[in-house]
Amino acid sequence: MLRARIVLTLYILFLMLPIYWLVNMSLKTNTEIVSGLTLWPHTLTFENYRRIFTDSSWYSGYLNSLQYVALNTVLSIALALPAAYAFSRYRFVGDKHLFFWLLSNRMAPAAVFALPFFNLYSAIGLFDTPLAVALAHCLFNVPLAVWILEGFMSGVPREIDETAYLDGYSFPHFFVKIFMPLVASGIGVTAFFCFMFSWVELLLARTLTSVDAKPIAATMTRTVSASGMDWGLLAAAGVLTILPGALVIWFVRNYIAKGFALGRV
Amino acid sequence: MDKPVNQGAWLLVLPVLLIVAFSAILPLMTVVNYSVQDTFGNNQFFWNGIGWYQELLDPSTDLGGRFFDALWRNLLFSLLILLIEVPLGIAVALSMPRHGWRVAATLVVLALPLLIPWNVVGTIWQIFAREDIGLLGWAVNRLGIPYNYTADPLSAWVTIVTMDVWHWTSLVALLCYAGLRSIPDAFYQAARIDGASRWAVFRNIQLPKMHRVLLIAVLLRFMDSFMIYTEPFVVTGGGPGNSTTFVSIDLVKLALGQFDLGKAAALSIVYNLIILAVCWVFYTVMTRMDAQRN
């Protein structure tokens, strides 16, 4: 037991040190950062954070990011729900091939799609809108959502469907009124993973936006200027991108293990 | 396996089919189209057949040499990642508490790196590993080991591998932990009564339960490390020299940097085919395992 404690403590220390260092940097002035290594901020300052919250080109990046992440999560789940139901309940021509093909898109490298997506979304006039990024992220999030939801739905006994049909429920009525509440925790877990993968992705999000819908992660590259790196500001922006994720994990902490338990991530 | 046959189910799958076709097939058709053409600019294209592919798959040409270098580099990286992250992830999962409030707390802490945007992961390590302002770089240099990831290829590799271990080991650990949770306490009690060693418990009780999740963990870690782009790009930009230029980084350089559409497109197709093949092998093994269990 002691050995387990040591392994875990060391690992958590390893995880936390770089994050601590980022927070440490964000609370320092740039003069302190470049003048020598200090283990904690000697001249504590919140100036870096203040600059982010008062400059609209900074905080609008957060709003843009949250906008397309939310849009993508809703889209992915809405589209994946009926499909996952079909896969968990019926056999049909080509079902296995279709499932594999969907899954393979989860593994497709974003770098391959960057340029064609740029052409595609420019051609249909969606370039530089949150909708473009949300649609682009569907490439990997929709297959993922189908995969996770199918696992949860297969856990619901089929007798429930049959009873509902015998009772005269139509399919849409049954699906919304009876079935969806039964897989509510599955929908929650799926939403978590859709949020996660849309939030952390940058290559596509950056390629598909220029000014109006620019995600926060791309705004961060601005701190590299002619006068050198603004390390404090960069660190503060970094800390602020960790917070939404940390908040979401805290809310779903009891479901994470369950979602992973299905082994479908 | 007694699901009823119902072709009407296609209607339910249709929306997903349309959206994925829109965002996967349509762009891929563009790529295929580019990959067989050459251009002199001004949007004038002419047929080039399989020329780009021949050049790409021939290591003696400029493009081919570049591609194979990046490919071997990337495979070495993926191999290193798997060799470190899988055993470490299992060790962490075995050390996790099984009951009480510490379970939730540990889960939250472990999952934290997974929800950090990938370029911020790069930024964190860019700062943390710098020799002048970063704790890690400073400490290593203080110990007398020369370490500078912007100038020395070995340092750059160590930084990127450590960063990936930091970023993704938790995923392996969480997956294994989920597998371990399905073992009833009675199994452990029985093992204790039989006087089973720690190793025997691991080999006969815990490992079999983790089989499937481990397969998924290996698949995901292989795929994601094989198409890694953002994190090394932020930290090293592919350098020093080309020492950390992986396939995705090279591809983006070709496509968006040099606008060499034909070459980039041919590379994309080959890259995608490799991934599709690996994915298919894993999928087949996985469905076989499921079928055996039922």
pLDDT (tens digit per residue) in A51-107: 888 887 788 888 888 899 999 999 999 999 999 999 989 888 888 888 888 888 888
Interface size between A and B, measured as CB pairs under 8 A: 281
**Rg (Cα) of chain A, in Å, rounded?**
23
Q: For testing the chain A interface, which of B133, B168, B248 should be mutated: the one with the most A CBs within 10 Å?
A: B133
How many domains are there within chain B? 1
Residue A10 confidence class, pLDDT cut points 50, 70, 90: very high
Residue A263 confidence class, pLDDT cut points 50, 70, 90: very low
CB-CB contact of A152 with A188 (8 Å): no
Query: How far apart are the C-alpha atoms of B206 and B190, rounded to whole Å?
Result: 14
In this prediction, residues B154-168 reach a mean pLDDT of 94
Residue A29 has a pLDDT of 83
In this prediction, residues B200-222 reach a mean pLDDT of 85
Asked whether the CA dihedral A113, A115, A118, A120 is positive or negative, the reply is negative
Higher pLDDT, B74 or B239: B74
CB-CB contact of B37 with B45 (8 Å): yes
In this prediction, residues B132-147 reach a mean pLDDT of 87
Nearest beta carbon to residue B108 from set A108, A250, A261? A250
pLDDT tens column, B164-199: 999 999 989 988 888 887 788 888 888 889 888 888
Long-range CB contacts (< 8 A, 24+ apart) of B195-202? B202/B94
Does B281 fall in a domain? yes
Does B200 fall in a domain? yes
Does B211 fall in a domain? yes
Interface ipTM > 0.95: no
Residue A225 has a pLDDT of 52
Q: For the ranges A261-265, B20-24, B286-290, which has the lowest average pLDDT?
A: A261-265
Q: Residue A256 pLDDT > 70, yes or no?
A: no
Mean pLDDT, rounded, of chain B: 86
Q: Residue A13 pLDDT > 90, yes or no?
A: yes
Nearest chain A residue to B166 by CA: give it.
A15
Does B9 fall in a domain? no
Residues of B in contact with A18 (CB under 8 A): 124-125, 128, 136, 166
Query: How far apart are the C-alpha atoms of B115 and B264, rounded to whole Å?
Result: 31
Question: What element of type H or E holds B73?
Answer: helix B62-95
Query: How far apart are the C-alpha atoms of A248 and A243, rounded to whole Å?
Result: 9
The residue range of the domain holding B231 is: 58-293
Residue A257 has a pLDDT of 61
List the 88-147 stretch of B: residues with Cβ below 8 A of A.
Answer: 88, 91-92, 94-96, 103-104, 106-120, 123-125, 127-128, 132-136, 138
Nearest beta carbon to residue A261 from set B17, B178, B223? B178
Q: Can you give the CATH number for the domain in which B70 is found?
A: 1.10.3720.10
Does B36 fall in a domain? no
pLDDT tens column, A194-214: 998 999 988 888 888 887 778
pLDDT tens column, A37-54: 778 888 888 888 888 888
Residue A265 has a pLDDT of 45
Query: How far apart are the C-alpha atoms of B71 and B60, rounded to whole Å?
Result: 15
Query: How far apart are the C-alpha atoms of A18 and B167, rounded to whole Å?
Result: 11
**Chain B nearest C-alpha distance from A12 (Å):** 7
Nearest chain A residue to B9 by CA: give it.
A86
Residue with tokens 């499921």, as numbered in its chain: B290
- Name the residue type at position B46: F
Q: Residue A27 pLDDT > 60, yes or no?
A: yes
Residue B42 has a pLDDT of 63
Residue B163 confidence class, pLDDT cut points 50, 70, 90: very high
pLDDT tens column, A130-187: 999 999 999 999 998 998 888 888 888 888 888 988 988 888 899 999 899 988 888 8
Longest dimension (CA), chain A: 77
Higher pLDDT, B72 or B131: B72
Residue A227 has a pLDDT of 55
Highest mean pLDDT among A69-78, A102-111, B1-10, B221-230: A69-78
Residue A260 has a pLDDT of 59
Residue with tokens 């936390």, as numbered in its chain: A16
Residue with tokens 């809108």, as numbered in its chain: A129
In this prediction, residues A218-241 reach a mean pLDDT of 75
pTM summary value: 0.87
Mean pLDDT, rounded, of chain A: 85
Closest CA to A263 of B108, B3, B105, B282: B282
Closest CA to B29 of A112, A212, A75: A112
Does B261 fall in a domain? yes
Higher pLDDT, B60 or B161: B161
Higher pLDDT, A110 or B80: B80
Does B19 fall in a domain? no
State the distance between the two ends of chain B, measured CA to CA, in whole angstroms. 9
The answer to whether the CB atoms of A135 and B27 lie below 8 A apart is no
β-bridge partners, A91: B5
- What are the φ/ψ torsions at residue A66 (nearest 5 degrees)? -65, -35
**Rg (Cα) of chain B, in Å, rounded?**
23
Q: Does B252 touch chain A (CB under 8 A)?
A: yes
In this prediction, residues B120-147 reach a mean pLDDT of 88
Query: How far apart are the C-alpha atoms of B236 and B245, rounded to whole Å?
Result: 9
Does B182 fall in a domain? yes
In this prediction, residues A219-226 reach a mean pLDDT of 62
Q: Residue B91 pLDDT > 80, yes or no?
A: yes
- What are the φ/ψ torsions at residue B196 (nearest 5 degrees)? -70, 145
Residues of A in contact with B95 (CB under 8 A): 3-5, 7-8, 11
